[in-house]
Structure 1
């Protein structure tokens, strides 16, 4: 099975292959044909399964094939729980739309809204956004949802956990009732099923892993350690294992800062990322972690 076999256009196949992908992942193989047919989707997908391309590619194809020649109303909206995920999804949208005439942008809080408003007013086909900033911009009349044809909820379970359900329902209330809805979630709690039943119409269920299972490539180890020895033990593991890229989760923002300071004191390059950090600091920490200039990223669950 190739991307061409799934019904994708040569322009999109070319962009995907340039990223080094030749064979679709299971989620892409299952979801793309249904999305191209205009069906609603309820997909169970972990991070790292290729789900972003699974919805981005068919939506871009739909937008490119049905584009209005003169103006660009907002026609596809991707909602994500965090700024970091929004930026990541938009990077993918940009890369995959390289050879089609589609404009996209991303909006989230923590940064100046003025450039976001200017970009939206110049016209975008597909928008990636976090719910809070999106509603602010809608209140400021920077965009309209009246022409939205496709709504994508990415990591819907995280959005529920973070209390975005009211915002999501409010955003949907401004949209046409006739539209395609795509929902992606790593887990399927009763709350997710309830949200899905209110949004999706006769959805096709797409599952790539047993419900609520962990990602295949992850191996688990548990160490029972006294609370007072946790930091010391973490440093020992990092040094002895010669680990060069480590993501550490802490329960609190204070705990993240404290651990980062101790790691740096022990001669290990580290940065913290959490809700009290400015958007600039969060973006810089992620970039440094990706390019290897810091070894350890200490995060609360915003990551």
Structure 2
């Protein structure tokens, strides 16, 4: 199968080839023909599956084929994070650069001044990639109109709701035309996501795209047993001993991000923290330093798990295990991208052994345990650790995320 056989315009099929795409991924092969027919799409796809092209190519196909002068926004893509907005927008722009006619793609997110984004929208735009909050800001300033939008894309829908955007999404939906195409992509489908999908979609084409053999990421998963207090020392040794050129390290909290990065710097490792309290300028600068190799280790919270595309990133380390198996997939998916190979290392303590088993069960893959000389664990794992049904580590009270999920599900239910 080739992109040309999916029904794309010849100029678009050529553009895809020119930027290096060879054969469609599973999600692209299933979603593109359905979207070209004008059907709503409900897609289940993990990070790195190629879903950006799965929704961008049909939109560009329609824009290339437009016979009359377009008025208003054609496609709106909502994403949960600033980084994902930039990544998706730039990926679409890369496609547009190869086309015979101009298509304007705009990107908007919070954390920076709104004025340049408003200026960039003068004269309108064809495709807008935005976070929900900043999109509402633009609408309130009359910098953009969405009442004639033909296509709505929700990318990473589970993360959108998980981050508490249900109210913003409801406001945006109220401003969109009733007649439109909806393309809905999510890695997981908790109740809140299912409820939103049932409200939005009309007889959708349902797609579950697991990675096929041709596009399966080449990621070596490793699990190293270590007592929690010794993780930073072990990380420092691994960085030096295994000569990792760049390492993305995931931790659970902003404090841990700062603390671990500081400990590494004190030991001569070029490291920096990365979390949601950073200004957009600081986030951009740190990422640029990491991508260029000026930084060796980036210690990040899950704000970096989705939407950061670092070319040929060799190693990801789960210093703290993610709360859910789905987040584990997103984290390790930062490596082994675009045909490259990668390594994903998880630190497993006696306290988190049961949670890592849950992750293994969900991904249907056993990861052999390793021990590093000098860091053998002293603590023993409990026989029956407790994990909550949402994949979180033990706890009796509902977390903030669980409460947000439940609130979103209730808000999405039709009123009687």
Is TM (by shorter chain) over 0.5?
yes
Tell me the residue number matched to 1:146.
147
Tell me the residue number matched to 1:92.
91
The answer as to 2:99 corresponding to 1:133 is: no
Counterpart Cα distance in 1 of 2:256 and 2:140: 36
Structure whose CA Rg is larger: 2
Counterpart Cα distance in 1 of 2:33 and 2:135: 30
Counterpart Cα distance in 2 of 1:133 and 1:102: 22
Counterpart Cα distance in 2 of 1:84 and 1:72: 29
Map of 1:159-170 to 2, 5 A cutoff?
Answer: 159-170=160-171
Counterpart Cα distance in 1 of 2:185 and 2:210: 13
Counterpart Cα distance in 1 of 2:122 and 2:280: 23
Tell me the residue number matched to 2:249.
248
Tell me the residue number matched to 2:74.
75
Counterpart Cα distance in 2 of 1:15 and 1:284: 31
Deviates more, 1:185-194 or 1:89-98: 185-194
Q: What whole-Å deviation, never above 9, does each CA across 1:184-215 have from its counterpart, x for those lacking one?
A: 111122221111001111111111129xxxx7
Q: Is the 8 Å Cα contact of residues 15 and 95 (structure 1) preserved in structure 2?
A: no
SS at structure 1 position matched to 2:5: coil
Q: Is the 8 Å Cα contact of residues 80 and 131 (structure 1) preserved in structure 2?
A: yes
SS at structure 2 position matched to 1:43: strand
Q: Is the 8 Å Cα contact of residues 149 and 176 (structure 2) preserved in structure 1?
A: yes
Counterpart Cα distance in 1 of 2:179 and 2:301: 38
Tell me the residue number matched to 1:276.
277
Q: Is the 8 Å Cα contact of residues 27 and 51 (structure 2) preserved in structure 1?
A: yes
Equivalenced residue count is 298
TM-score normalised according to structure 1 size: 0.94
1:97 Cα shift?
1.2
Q: Is the 8 Å Cα contact of residues 105 and 127 (structure 1) preserved in structure 2?
A: yes
Unaligned segments of structure 2, at least 5 residues: 305-416
Deviates more, 1:24-33 or 1:281-290: 281-290
1:164 Cα shift?
0.6
Counterpart Cα distance in 1 of 2:170 and 2:147: 15
Q: What whole-Å deviation, never above 9, does each CA across 1:203-234 have from its counterpart, x for those lacking one?
A: 11111129xxxx75444333333332111111
Residues 1:289 and 1:101: Cα distance change in structure 2 (over 3 Å): same
Q: What whole-Å deviation, never above 9, does each CA across 1:117-167 have from its counterpart, x for those lacking one?
A: 112232101000000111111111111110111000000111111011111
TM-score normalised according to structure 2 size: 0.69
1:289 Cα shift?
2.2
Tell me the residue number matched to 2:38.
38
Counterpart Cα distance in 1 of 2:68 and 2:112: 31
Q: Is the 8 Å Cα contact of residues 26 and 210 (structure 2) preserved in structure 1?
A: no
1:68 Cα shift?
4.0
Tell me the residue number matched to 1:206.
207
Residues 1:109 and 1:68: Cα distance change in structure 2 (over 3 Å): farther
Q: Is the 8 Å Cα contact of residues 248 and 298 (structure 1) preserved in structure 2?
A: yes
Tell me the residue number matched to 1:25.
25
Tell me the residue number matched to 1:234.
235
Counterpart Cα distance in 2 of 1:192 and 1:297: 31
SS at structure 1 position matched to 2:233: helix
Q: Is the 8 Å Cα contact of residues 274 and 300 (structure 2) preserved in structure 1?
A: yes
Counterpart Cα distance in 1 of 2:18 and 2:290: 24
Q: What whole-Å deviation, never above 9, does each CA across 1:89-138 have from its counterpart, x for those lacking one?
A: 00011011121321111000111111111122321010000001111111
1:290 Cα shift?
2.4
Counterpart Cα distance in 2 of 1:121 and 1:147: 17
CA RMSD of aligned residues (A): 1.6
SS at structure 2 position matched to 1:223: strand
